[in-house]
Structure 1
């Protein structure tokens, strides 16, 4: 089975940029949220709305109703209403939390850097991935997962070919799929 890193399209014409989720632990929101709560997301730079946006610092995914509905029935994800502050969006938006973390990086085929034990900026992340030049997942370790985060690099969201096809069929805007 093929897998893809899900990213927002940085070249989307006149795109908006979303900032942090207010009054919440943004690191935690990438994986867990309260589905009954309404969150507030700040607009960093106004522009055209996208069906998928992810804030770079924390990996929090903000999705449209169309995106959410395309993933109906997929396990391992949760949604909560997101009020966009500083913009009046045409539709409804949601925070998407992706709970599953899978240890699936094929380190032989990938190119990456890891945080060092005495890293001057993030010593707490020693041994975790700092970034990837080339990410390759081992599909045998991803069996049974259709959407997940990479263990040790939670800002990355990876989807199966089935999720990719659902999103493409729904015509979502602002999303890119990079084969991993």
Structure 2
């Protein structure tokens, strides 16, 4: 079992990199970006497009302005070779850039944050005025994952802190070997 895990983000330090904006449909209407953090399989509904502003260096792994992972087809091929199952790749168009491009939709959410080892965790309370979130994480700083609670997963989102995308050390190494542009790994 893998005992080290990493939060996967994109390389914000890349000079003159491109930036993907929020997804829109074929009519230019915004699409709910939070659906891609819920850990559930989605049925494609029309064309999903990502505007690019500003243009710049293309990254094969990119997070849009709402942290939706958008990947090049090379990432899909790698996941297929590795046999990683807990993921759905939704085809998308990236404005002005030939594909293939996909949203990486992680299908597992695990209760695996090790609160005691994190630098700071705060929870929503009734005083926050959001009763639907009481007991969920309000802030997680210096996140740490409890490997014993990861159920052998290689890709997942931590329960309560859904914007984070976590990968196993094995998947991290495979992504690095592939030489993809964009991924950055922070041990958690």
* TM-score, normalising length: structure 1: 0.88
Q: Which residue of 95, 102, 120 corresponds with 1:94?
A: 102
User: Matched residues in 1 for 2:20 and 2:76: separation?
Assistant: 18
**How do 1:101-116 and structure 2 match up within 5 A?**
101-110=109-118, 111-116=120-125
Comparing 154-163 with 29-38, greater Cα deviation is found at 29-38
Deviations 1:61-84 (A, max 9, x none): 101111221211201100011101
Q: Secondary structure at the match of 2:165?
A: strand
Report the CA distance between 1:15 and its aligned residue.
1.0
- Judging by fraction of residues, say which structure has more strand: 1
| Distance change in 2, residues 1:45/1:117 (3 Å) | farther
Q: Which residue of 28, 35, 51 corresponds with 1:42?
A: 51
Q: Which protein is bigger by CA-based radius of gyration?
A: 2
Deviations 1:90-113 (A, max 9, x none): 542111100100000111011233
**Which residue does 2:128 correspond to in 1?**
119
Report the CA distance between 1:37 and its aligned residue.
5.0
User: Matched residues in 2 for 1:102 and 1:66: separation?
Assistant: 26
User: Matched residues in 1 for 2:134 and 2:52: separation?
Assistant: 32
The alignment of Structure 1 onto Structure 2 pairs a total of residues equal to 176
Q: Secondary structure at the match of 1:67?
A: helix
**Which residue does 1:158 correspond to in 2?**
166
Runs of 4+ in 1 over 4 A off after TM superposition: none
* TM-score, normalising length: structure 2: 0.85
User: Matched residues in 1 for 2:104 and 2:186: separation?
Assistant: 19
CA-based RMSD: 1.9
Q: Secondary structure at the match of 2:132?
A: helix
**Which residue does 1:22 correspond to in 2?**
24
**Structure 2 unaligned regions, length at least 5:** 26-30
**Which residue does 2:28 correspond to in 1?**
none
**Structure 1 unaligned regions, length at least 5:** none
